[in-house]
Amino acid sequence: MIDVAELLRPYREVIEGELDRACRFPEGCPEKLAEAIRYAVLAPGKRLRPALVMMSAEACGGSREDAFAPAVAVEMIHAYSLIHDDLPAMDDDDLRRGRPTTHIAYGEATAILAGDALQSQAFAHLYSRISDPILASRLMGELAIASGASGLVGGQEDDLAAETIELSTFESPSLAQKHLESIHRRKTGALFIACAKMGAIAAGGSQEQVDALARFADAFGLAFQITDDVLDFTSDAETLGKRTGKDSGRGKFTFPDLMAAQRDEESRVELGLAVNPHDADLRSGRSEYDDSETTTRTDIDVGIALAREQAAALIQSAHDSIELFGAAGQRLGLMADYLLERTS
Amino acid sequence: MIDVAELLRPYREVIEGELDRACRFPEGCPEKLAEAIRYAVLAPGKRLRPALVMMSAEACGGSREDAFAPAVAVEMIHAYSLIHDDLPAMDDDDLRRGRPTTHIAYGEATAILAGDALQSQAFAHLYSRISDPILASRLMGELAIASGASGLVGGQEDDLAAETIELSTFESPSLAQKHLESIHRRKTGALFIACAKMGAIAAGGSQEQVDALARFADAFGLAFQITDDVLDFTSDAETLGKRTGKDSGRGKFTFPDLMAAQRDEESRVELGLAVNPHDADLRSGRSEYDDSETTTRTDIDVGIALAREQAAALIQSAHDSIELFGAAGQRLGLMADYLLERTS
């Protein structure tokens, strides 16, 4: 068992000091807005993204300090996205990690504005803290592209839309899985990839190193999301003894749902049957897997097991991506392994 | 009478082409999100901010083309701020220039996300369109600072708070005026100043030129806001024959209110009376100006006249700021003069 708390602790501590200093606003920032920003940014968290930035810099032979500015900037983007995701018009969450969400604590208008200000602050922070303008420009550019309409924000838009899309809308479970992966590659993956690249770039890493770390972060990000989906089932199963995970409860399909359905698809292919569950000839005979709501408990157990297998395969591929760093990439490898054991 | 439509037309036309091209998103951007972004950005408008960027570049001897990227970027920031300002939790506006606002047309979640994506897109646009990374970094930095918690967003937060602040809360009308000016200097002024500076910087202007254009934009921005407040009264007065302007109707105090109240304060000082309207000895005798709702019609007419005078003084100071540019600053001067004649 990896003691991930111990692994991440020094990174977390150092970056929380940096975040605290970065969120003291000069005159001109209204008191309430500054408080809301600090409330959101300094909320308890694992600080996985800043750790990824700093570990990537270290893998390239740089220091943690080299990566402070991009680590703070990505955490600001992450914090802004959480504030906006929690809004009533979005996921409508009142609590995050047991604390009232920002709009509950400070009102909706201030929460929207705190998110908006955090986004510009991320760029302002890179601009003011990176003395080499060529490096600053590249870091700002990477962050802007990852955060935008084809990255973080695009993924959130499709994720919200996915709440009302039934699994049966897709021609096959494997197409549905492609769609789900595409959502996650943008909603969470793009920022993870930006973390790894920015850390490497800040440390003066070579293009080969930047690319390797981007591949690592891509696999890591998707594995992170799959284990998140699995936890959504298993933590509920343990606590409540039934399948009412938050995402699955909203009719959103998750990786375990898809794995269960896809296994079914594979059996069909083996049996020489049509794959499309809408095929009229098949509907009467086999209807379990064309609507996640009717997926049986056994199917889901199989789905969970298969999702875990997929996460393990992604973690293996993450390890392969950073082989070239040798011992310098060890911490990144440990952080990846932790995903397979996470319970929260 | 300045034909401002004719003055701005070539700038507007060229920048609308640029905006159109800048808002075609690559694969990965959900269709609905892209549509909402285009709906907001390509909405009809005077494109004052892009014109200011381009005219500032021209004043420094540069070309309009030099200023295309920053002109597009500031308009993206402006469009994002309008989308978010119109949201139900903020100003709750259903219409903007006669068209449904973005959240009415595309739903609140997509509107929030379209604004978020536009903000990052502004930085991504500068990054991808400016080949000199030192220049790109400086432009992104100027834009990030102007857009942030002590700029655009901070001004909006205080502007929303001002809706529930009575004029009588302030010790004197002149302190209230300082507060109102501080709101506008951030909510609209900061971006106008960024426009002028970015145009000058993009054209390779000297620090003296950048500073002069920043002073021009500061005066221009405040005059813009004062004439906006005046229009809020006069366009209603003409149409409805009574004082029910949008801002003043919400209990928000405006420049004409303040001018009226401040004139009263000056009379008091002349008469040797206390300035603070809360002074108990004075409340019974003179209570008109400590609550804008009870300001009389004549007071407001005087306030409007005084606000117009202040706008004219600011425009004069804007002209003075750009004297050093000679004929190259002529268009900027004409654009400033137009504020005194605007009717919409």
Q: What is the ipTM of this complex?
A: 0.89
Option in B33, B119, B161 nearest A119 (CB) = B119
Both tokens assigned to B298: 């004549």
For chain A, percent of residues with pLDDT exceeding 90: 66
CA distances B241 to A73, B234, B244, Å, are: 52, 9, 9
The pLDDT assigned to B246 comes to 55
- Predicted confidence at residue A256, as pLDDT, reads 85
Q: How open is the CA angle A336-A337-A338, to the nearest 5 degrees? A: 90
> pLDDT-based confidence at A282, cuts 50/70/90?
very low
For residues B141 and A124, the answer to whether their CB atoms sit within 8 Å is: yes
Is residue A79 predicted with pLDDT exceeding 50? yes
Supply B293's token pair: 């709702």
Q: How confident is the model at residue A68 (pLDDT cuts 50, 70, 90)?
A: very high
Which of A55-64, A123-132, B2-11, B259-268 is predicted with the least confidence, judged by mean pLDDT? B259-268
Bridge pairing between strands B99-100 and A95-96: unpaired
In Å, how far is B152's CA from the nearest CA of chain A?
9
Burial level of B258, CB count in 10 A (0-12/13-18/19+)?
buried
Verify whether the Cβ–Cβ distance A149 to B32 is below 8 Å. no
Amino acid at A237: A
Nearest CA among B156, B158, B176 for reference residue B166:
B176
At residue A266, does pLDDT exceed 50? yes
Cβ atoms of B34 and B25 closer than 8 Å: yes
Considering only CB atoms, A160 lies closest to which of B109, B124, B156, namely: B109
- Residue A70 has a pLDDT of 98
Task: Retrieve residue B146's tokens.
Answer: 């102007």
Q: In the predicted model, what is the mean pLDDT of chain B?
A: 87
| Cβ(B94)–Cβ(B100) below 8 Å | yes
Percentage, residues of chain A above pLDDT 70: 85
B193 contact residues in A (CB cutoff 8 A): none
**What are the chain A neighbours of B133 within 8 Å (beta carbons)?**
133-134, 137-138
Judge whether B41 and B118 are in contact, CB under 8 Å.
yes
Please list the alpha-helical segments (H only) found in chain A: 4-22, 31-41, 48-59, 68-86, 102-106, 108-129, 133-147, 152-162, 173-184, 190-202, 207-240, 246-249, 255-271, 280-283, 297-321, 330-339
Is-contact B126 B136, C-beta < 8 A? yes
> Which phi and psi (to 5°) does residue B270 adopt?
-60, -40
What is the spatial distance between Cα B124 and Cα A123, in angstroms, rounded to a whole number? 11
End-to-end CA distance of chain A: 14
Distance of CA A35 to the CA centre of its chain: 26
- What is the pLDDT, as a whole number, of residue A267? 64
User: Would you state the pLDDT for residue A173?
Assistant: 83
Q: Mean pLDDT lowest for which of A88-92, A252-256, A273-277, B98-102?
A: A273-277
Name the more confident of B261 and A34.
Answer: A34
Give the best residue of A140, A163, A182 to mutate against chain B (max B CB count within 10 A): A140
Of B30, B127, B160, the CB nearest to A144: B127
Q: What is the 3-state secondary structure (H, E, C) of chain B?
A: CCCHHHHHHHHHHHHHHHHHHHCCCCCCCCHHHHHHHHHHHCCCCCCHHHHHHHHHHHHCCCCCHHHHHHHHHHHHHHHHHHHHHCCCCCCCCCEECCEECHHHHHCHHHHHHHHHHHHHHHHHHHHHHCCCHHHHHHHHHHHHHHHCCCCHHHHHHHHHHHCCCCHHHCCCHHHHHHHHHHHHHHHHHHHHHHHHHHHHHHCCCCHHHHHHHHHHHHHHHHHHHHHHHHHHHHHHHHHHCCCCCHHHHCCCCCHHHHHHHHHHHHHHHHHCCCCCCCCHHHHCCCCHHHCHHHCCHHHHHHHHHHHHHHHHHHHHHHHHHCHHHHHHHHHHHHHHHHHCCCCC
Residue A121 and residue B144: Cβ atoms within 8 Å?
A: yes
Instruction: Report residue A286's pLDDT band, with 50, 70 and 90 as the boundaries.
Output: very low
List of chain A residues whose C-beta atoms are within 8 Å of the C-beta of residue B156: 113
* Contact indicator for A292, A261 with CB cutoff of 8 Å: yes
pLDDT of residue A243: 40
Q: What percent of chain B has pLDDT over 90?
A: 66
Q: For residue A235, what pLDDT band results from cuts at 50, 70 and 90?
A: confident
B2 CA to chain A: closest CA distance, Å? 35
- Do B217 and B193 form a contact (C-beta atoms < 8 A)? yes
**Touching A: B residues 136-155, CB under 8 Å:** 136-138, 140-141, 143-145, 147-154
Question: Which of the given ranges, A128-137, B179-188, B265-274, has the highest pLDDT on average?
Answer: A128-137
Residue A71 scores a pLDDT above 60: yes
User: Domains of chain A: which residue ranges?
Assistant: 4-339
**Residue A125: C-alpha distances to residues A69, A78, A234 (Å):** 7, 14, 39
> Per-residue pLDDT for B56 more than 90?
yes
Whether the Cβ atoms of residue A194 and residue A168 lie closer than 8 Å to each other: no
Q: Tell me the two tokens of residue A112.
A: 């929207």
Q: Is A89 helix (H, G, I), strand (E, B) or coil?
A: coil
**Averaged pLDDT score across all residues of chain A:** 87
B111-133 CB burial, b ≥16 within 10 A, e <16: bbbbbbbbbbbbbbbbbebbeeb
Question: Which amino acid is residue A245, in one-letter code?
Answer: G
Distance from CA of A45 to the nearest CA of B (A): 23
Q: Which one has a higher pLDDT value, A122 or B266?
A: A122
Q: Compute CA B235 distance to the chain's CA centroid, rounded to the nearest angstrom.
A: 18
Question: What is the spatial distance between Cα A314 and Cα A306, in angstroms, rounded to a whole number?
Answer: 12
Task: State pLDDT tens for residues A160-186.
Answer: 998 888 878 888 888 888 999 999 999
- Chain center to CA of A236: 20
**How far apart, in whole angstroms, are the C-alpha atoms of residue B155 and residue A28?**
8
pLDDT greater than 90 at residue B281? no
Contact A149 B117 (CB under 8 A): yes
pLDDT at position B104 is 98
How many A/B residue pairs have CB atoms within 8 Å?
178
User: Hey, what amino acid is at B256?
Assistant: P
User: Would an 8 Å CB–CB cutoff place B288 in contact with chain A?
Assistant: no
Residue range B4-339 in CATH 3.10.105.10: no
pLDDT at A188: 94
| B20, HSE (Cβ side, Cα atoms, 13 Å) | 7
Contact predicate A213/A70, CB 8 Å: no
Top pLDDT among A65 and A253 is at: A65
User: For B11-52, what is each residue's pLDDT tens digit?
Assistant: 999 999 999 999 998 888 999 999 999 999 999 999 999 999
Q: For residue range B102-133, list pLDDT tens digits in order.
A: 999 999 999 999 999 999 999 999 999 999 99
pLDDT mean over A319-335: 96
